[in-house]
Chains A and B, each alone.
Chain A
Amino acid sequence: MKKAEEIQLPDELRYSVDHEWVRMESGSARIGITDYAQDQLGDVVYVELPSIGARFAAGAVFATVESVKSVSECIMPLAGEVIGVNAALNDDPALLNTSPYGDGWMVLVKPDDPSAGGGLLTAGRYREHLGGAA
């Protein structure tokens, strides 16, 4: 397990208390799990992604991530429609471990409310949240 200071939390992203990150990209939101989440899960062996066109409310389960002996649900940080999924994870689920903010992204979502990301945590606030959780 990583020590708290080893956890990478890029400043340009927004975070949810459920350990997802959001990157706003010209009206759509790219979503994945945080470095902290992937570290807690250990080696990811399978990712179950939603279909394109699926709609989720904020707080809904949109994907599951499996390690050898655990299953974790990923919680949608903002309401919207899935307009893209990272198919590369089907063949190489380890991308979630090696590149959680890059090649290991999970879904691209068109938010119902384009300003919804504003309610999420900054890197600093999320790190404080982790401190409280630990």
Chain B
Amino acid sequence: MSEQPGGTGLVLNEPLLWERGKTGRCGFSLPAQDVPESPLPAELAGEGPDFPDLSETEVVRHYTRLSTWNYGVDSGFYPLGSCTMKYNPKTNERQAGLRGFTAAHPLLPAALSQGALRLMYELERDLAEITGLAAVTLQPAAGAQGELAGMLILHAWQQSRQSVRTKILIPDTAHGTNPASAALCGYAPVAVPSDERGIIPAGVVDSLMDEATAGIMITNPNTLGLFEENIREIARIVHGRGGLVYCDGANMNAVLGVVKPGEIGVDILHLNLHKTFSTPHGGGGPGSGPVAVRRELERFLPVPRVVEEGGAYRLREDCPDSIGRLLAFQGHFGILVRAYAYIRSLGPDGLARVSRLAVLNANYLKERLRGTLPLAFDRPCMHECVFSDRNLQGTGIVTLDIAKRLMDYGYHPPTIYFPLVVPGAIMVEPTETETKEDLDRFVEAIQAIVREARENPDLLKEAPHRCKVTRLDETAAARNPCLIG
């Protein structure tokens, strides 16, 4: 590598908000007092919160400084496995920022909100086509709330059949939200072990699925980046014993236009618009987790439902079998606008090419890195691949050190120590928006770091060297929590 991407820029310190300012300042243009004052009765009035008073310039400098300590997709390569950190198109922000959308009250009468309702209706139809399922709700606020919606639907469906079931099958490779979402519905998770090929054998499902089990929650492609080949057989077994198949669609970016989950036995599926459909992650959210279901389950979807009658759209509330409402209003509409803009920008051919190139990028990285880090499963992967730190035993270097050292090279580290079935896992998801040159440079960085691990391990142990801070004391943070200043 000719030049290290990580340099030593001017990193400025910045105090906490309340370490700045002076009482009486205000960075806000208050409207004129054009009506008489009407103070509250004294017994109700408080003193108001103790916030620092800052000038507009102070506020601008404070947050601009903070932003320079952050690394986003716009800053560089972000190969976080299972997070699909693809480019977030700027035009999406423009569309979501249109005044007709941002200023729209959620309780506007239908006649006064046709544009937003039409957008939601069309997005539902698009996602139904992409997933091969009949009906979609856009309401869930994030993937985990989509999972909860899905589990509530599963629970309501079992109840409608007078069937009381207490367990649910969840593969050992699952994201932690799966068991946590199932538990909210009172289902005890039963771990389904993946086999030596990293997938779920139908025989294991056959031995575990019984009359007390409500169904299976399966991630496909799974968190090892592998396609669950036995999905049809697994679905046949689960359906045959009165269960439903829930698919965590977090990894849908691998199979757009390649696989329609609804056609291979999936009954309920959630999507993450902030992964597959390019909406930004905002440093932790807001996301959006639409849920798609097959026709027989549509009546259980949360209210409100968007319906179209003769070219007019409205929100329908009277759905007696619905699981109810998940949020006060109809979901993260601002995120829906972005996803809609993305689907319209790419069209059917563009979306199908997204997955082909995402899988190509992942397989390319896998091939280029196979001599440098050991592969957890040496098989053709989908949109991501999992390595481990096994070959560094004896150097004292572990996955965490590699991750921290990658920052010095100008990269966000991959997902580490997940999935749990791979000790020291390093899970790389390049996404389709990265160029071959960027992937090549990342490969060189990993190769250089593995060399350093053998030649100068302290360099890794002390990494990162070029960030705002060095490694932080998480133990002290948890022993004596300081959550507010």
Contact = CB atoms under 8 A, between A and B. Distances in A.
Q: Do chains A and B touch in the complex (CB under 8 A)?
A: yes
B474 interface: yes
B475 interface: yes
Contacts of B90: none
A85 interface: no
Nearest to A68: B474
A46 B480 CA distance: 9
B270 to A, nearest CB: 26
Contacts of A45: 475, 478-479
A43 interface: yes
A2 B114 CA distance: 67
A66 B474 CA distance: 13
A19 B475 CA distance: 23
Q: Is the interface of B mostly helix, strand, loop or mixed?
A: helix
Contacts of A93: 479
A9 interface: no
Contacts of B478: 45-46, 66, 68
Residue of A43, A46, A66 with most chain B CB atoms under a 10 A cut-off: A43
B308 to A, nearest CB: 48
A71 to B, nearest CB: 12
Interface in A4-37: none
A78 interface: no
Contacts of B479: 45-46, 93-94
Interface string A57-96: 0000000001110000000000000000000000001100
Nearest to A43: B475
Interface in B470-485: 474-475, 478-479
Nearest to B417: A69
A45 B477 CA distance: 9
A43 B473 CA distance: 11
Contacts of B475: 43, 45, 67-68
B188 to A, nearest CB: 16
Contacts of A68: 474-475, 478
A76 to B, nearest CB: 22
Contacts of A67: 475
A67 B475 CA distance: 8
Contacts of A66: 478
Nearest to B479: A45
B97 to A, nearest CB: 38
Contacts of A46: 478-479
Interface string B444-455: 000000000000
Interface in A89-130: 93-94
Interface string B235-262: 0000000000000000000000000000
A68 B417 CA distance: 14
Nearest to A46: B478
B400 to A, nearest CB: 11
A27 to B, nearest CB: 35
A93 B476 CA distance: 11
A46 B475 CA distance: 10
B417 to A, nearest CB: 8
A68 B475 CA distance: 6
B474 to A, nearest CB: 5
A68 B400 CA distance: 14
Residue of A45, A46, A67, A93 with most chain B CB atoms under a 10 A cut-off: A45
A66 B475 CA distance: 10
Contacts of B474: 68
B274 to A, nearest CB: 24
A22 B32 CA distance: 74
A67 B479 CA distance: 9
Nearest to A94: B479
B180 to A, nearest CB: 13
A37 B478 CA distance: 20
B293 to A, nearest CB: 34
B302 to A, nearest CB: 32
A68 B474 CA distance: 7
A56 B190 CA distance: 26
B240 to A, nearest CB: 36
A66 B477 CA distance: 13
Contacts of A43: 475
Nearest to B474: A68
Nearest to A45: B478
Interface in B390-442: none
A46 B478 CA distance: 8
A93 B474 CA distance: 14
A43 B475 CA distance: 7
A66 B41 CA distance: 49
Nearest to B478: A45
A93 B475 CA distance: 11
A45 B475 CA distance: 6
Nearest to A92: B479
Contacts of A94: 479
A93 B481 CA distance: 13
A43 B480 CA distance: 13
A66 B481 CA distance: 14
10 contacts: A43-B475, A45-B478, A45-B479, A46-B479, A66-B478, A67-B475, A68-B474, A68-B475, A93-B479, A94-B479
List the 4 closest pairs (A to B, CB-CB), nearest first.
A45-B478, A43-B475, A68-B474, A45-B479
Interface of B: 474-475, 478-479
Given A46-B478, A46-B479, A68-B475, 6 more contacts: A43-B475, A45-B478, A45-B479, A66-B478, A68-B478, A93-B479
